Structure 1
Amino acid sequence: MTVRIGFFPNNNSLFVLRHRGIVERRLPAVEWVDLRALPAKPPVDPKSALPTLHSDWLFEPGGYDFIGTGFTPPVTGLAHDRDLVYVGISGPRVENGRLVVKPGSPIRTVADLRGRRVGVAHGSWQTTLLLFALEGAGLTWSDIEPVDTAVHDGPSAFSSGELDAWVGAYPALGVVEQAGPVRTLIETEGLFSHPSLWFTRRDFAENHRDELTAIVRSLQESDAWVEANPREAARYFAEDAGTTSEADLDRWEHALRSRPFGLHPVSEEFLDEQHRAARLLAANGLLPRAVDPRSAVLPWLNDLLTPQAA
């Protein structure tokens, strides 16, 4: 069979794996699906809905069998009855981004965000970070004016004053920092672990264990190469960005050096965070229902990722 693997720059591990030819040595037929080339979903109102994003294409023609994303998309998929399972998680990516304001902003605490325009890539880990921060300040999603920076230029909107606050991520946050100072309103560290994670359909995991094992082993080999060769890995991202503001080799190298690589078993701490996110997303009207992420765990996959099995 042909195994279809989704990739895009936001999941650094899969993006590098796409360029290394490692998985092709383990699987006879691989097709890479660039998420950026898939038909765009219609924009959604960030005040009332959460896009299902990457979980959709696990179950639609022309999609993929395996994908890696940030924290929020699998929770969204589970709440929309997508029968997906977790494959593994990265270490914490707390240095990847944070909630920022301009140095002279009158916003001093998260509680001051009431009624303010806050930029997030809606449906990504940024939505979860903002919800966790709002809950800690006694606010809800309806207390702010969310702006979806997945369809707006986040750095431009923040720099121009269109946004009062922004959940920025590197390397885009680095573009803003290079232009001038920013003030951190809340760090990711201490709020949640913000790992990368990888998931697949339950039927693929159960019926194609050898193929899934080959993907996992290839990711582990590729991630080890990235850790040993961050500048060489950064070239893939800088070249892909072309002539845009993100085509900065030094900035990409810095981003890769600050991120954890390697796949780890799904932990109880991670599942607790996923459960909290699912509860908050549903309570704030961003999901149709709350879900238990433990339903998406297959014990044999965790065994595959234990140190003894590596």
Structure 2
Amino acid sequence: MTIRVGYFPNNNSLFVLRHTGLLERRLPDVEWIDLRDLPASHAVDPRTALPTLHSDWLFETGGYDFIGTGFTPPITGLGQGRDLVYVGISGPRVENGRLVSLADSGIRTAADLRGKRVGIAHGSWQTTLVLLALDRVGLTWSDIVPVDVDVNAGGSALLGGELDAWVGAYPGLAGVEAQAQLHTLVDTDGLFSHPSLWFTSREFAENHRAELEAIVAALQESDAAIVADPREAARHFVADADQRGGNADPDRWEDALRGRPFGIGPVTDEFLDEQQRAADLLHANGLLPKAVDVRAAVVPWIADLVAATRPVAAS
């Protein structure tokens, strides 16, 4: 059986694993699906809906069996009625990015965002960050003008005046910081833990436990290698940018990887509480078609599987 794994650079762990060959040592037939190459027909109006590409392709013929993303996509899938289950989470990534404006823009707090153009990689953790920040100051999604931007292009749009605020993430945020003075409107720390996470379909989990264990074990091994040599891991992101006609700074990628948690742990009650709060807000703001119970996506034995694959020294 061919095991299909969906990956893209924003989930650093799976992206590095794609280039190490560690999974292929455990599974004889692996196919890697680059999410950036999937059809763009899943684009939506960021004012009224969430993109469903990640969960749609998990359940489509010829899609993938396992995926790693940020905070929001599994909530989106559950809201679409997809029978997905959580596999595991990383530690908090609160230093990964934040909501910023230009220092001379006059936009000083989240309360100043009413009617403003806010750039986000819509459907990612950035959507959740902005929604939580708005809720904290009594605003709703309809009070802003959300603009779906690429994680890198958003910085140029902010500098060019096309956006009033932007959720930047490293290493791209470092490039913008080098060109202009920014003001932090909202830090991720204090809003939510913002982990990386991995999920699959219930059918795959129940019928392919050995394969799921192999994927998690390979990720643990690859993550340990990233921690041991972040410079080598950074090389994969730089090479990918070169192949796609772009450019990336190896020093900034190395710095970004050094500042992120690696290793997969079981989902926790604290994480699920955060997911539920985000799901409730997404539904209340019209971005999810139905309310969801995130704990319905928890399979207890998967936590034991993840815990069993963790290196002894992992914390």
- One fold, TM greater than 0.5? yes
Counterparts of residues 192-271 of structure 1 (less than 5 Å): 192-242=192-242, 246-271=247-272
Cα 1:274/1:147, change in 2 over 3 Å: same
Alpha-carbon offset, residue 297 of structure 1: 0.5
2:237 & 2:246 partners in 1: Cα distance?
12
Alpha-carbon offset, residue 43 of structure 1: 2.7
Counterparts of residues 279-298 of structure 1 (less than 5 Å): 279-298=280-299
Cα 1:244/1:190, change in 2 over 3 Å: farther
Which stretch of structure 1 is more off in the superposition, 170-179 or 254-263? 170-179
2:120–2:146 Cα contact (<8 Å) kept: yes
1:234–1:249 Cα contact (<8 Å) kept: yes
1:134–1:141 Cα contact (<8 Å) kept: yes
1:2–1:30 Cα contact (<8 Å) kept: yes
The residue matched to 2:33 in structure 1 has which SS?
A: strand
2:212 & 2:232 partners in 1: Cα distance?
27
2:158–2:165 Cα contact (<8 Å) kept: yes
The residue matched to 1:41 in structure 2 has which SS?
A: helix
- The answer for unaligned runs of 5 or more in structure 1 is none
Aligned residues: percent identity?
A: 70
1:251 & 1:271 partners in 2: Cα distance?
32
| Partner amino acid, structure 1, of 2:254 | E
Aligned residue pairs, count: 310
| Partner amino acid, structure 2, of 1:157 | A
1:295 & 1:94 partners in 2: Cα distance?
26
In structure 2, the partner of 1:105 is 105
2:151–2:169 Cα contact (<8 Å) kept: no
Cα 1:275/1:189, change in 2 over 3 Å: same
* Residues 183-207 of structure 1: CA deviation (Å, up to 9, x unaligned): 1111000110000000001000000
Alpha-carbon offset, residue 150 of structure 1: 3.5
1:309 & 1:258 partners in 2: Cα distance?
20
1:39 & 1:245 partners in 2: Cα distance?
21
1:70 & 1:26 partners in 2: Cα distance?
25
1:246 & 1:193 partners in 2: Cα distance?
30
* Residues 125-151 of structure 1: CA deviation (Å, up to 9, x unaligned): 000000000000000000111111139
1:283 & 1:67 partners in 2: Cα distance?
27
1:278 & 1:78 partners in 2: Cα distance?
9
TM-score, normalised on structure 2?
0.95
- The answer for unaligned runs of 5 or more in structure 2 is none
The residue matched to 2:41 in structure 1 has which SS?
A: coil
Cα 1:151/1:187, change in 2 over 3 Å: closer
Which stretch of structure 1 is more off in the superposition, 147-156 or 261-270? 147-156
2:163 & 2:279 partners in 1: Cα distance?
26
Alpha-carbon offset, residue 40 of structure 1: 1.5
* Residues 140-174 of structure 1: CA deviation (Å, up to 9, x unaligned): 00011111113992011100111111111112211
1:53–1:123 Cα contact (<8 Å) kept: no
1:192 & 1:250 partners in 2: Cα distance?
28
Cα 1:22/1:152, change in 2 over 3 Å: closer
Are 2:37 and 1:37 equivalent residues in the alignment?
A: yes
| Partner amino acid, structure 1, of 2:90 | S
Counterparts of residues 91-102 of structure 1 (less than 5 Å): 91-102=91-102
TM-score, normalised on structure 1?
0.97
Alpha-carbon offset, residue 240 of structure 1: 0.6
The residue matched to 2:301 in structure 1 has which SS?
A: helix
Are 2:44 and 1:52 equivalent residues in the alignment?
A: no
* Residues 40-78 of structure 1: CA deviation (Å, up to 9, x unaligned): 124311111111121111111221000000000000000
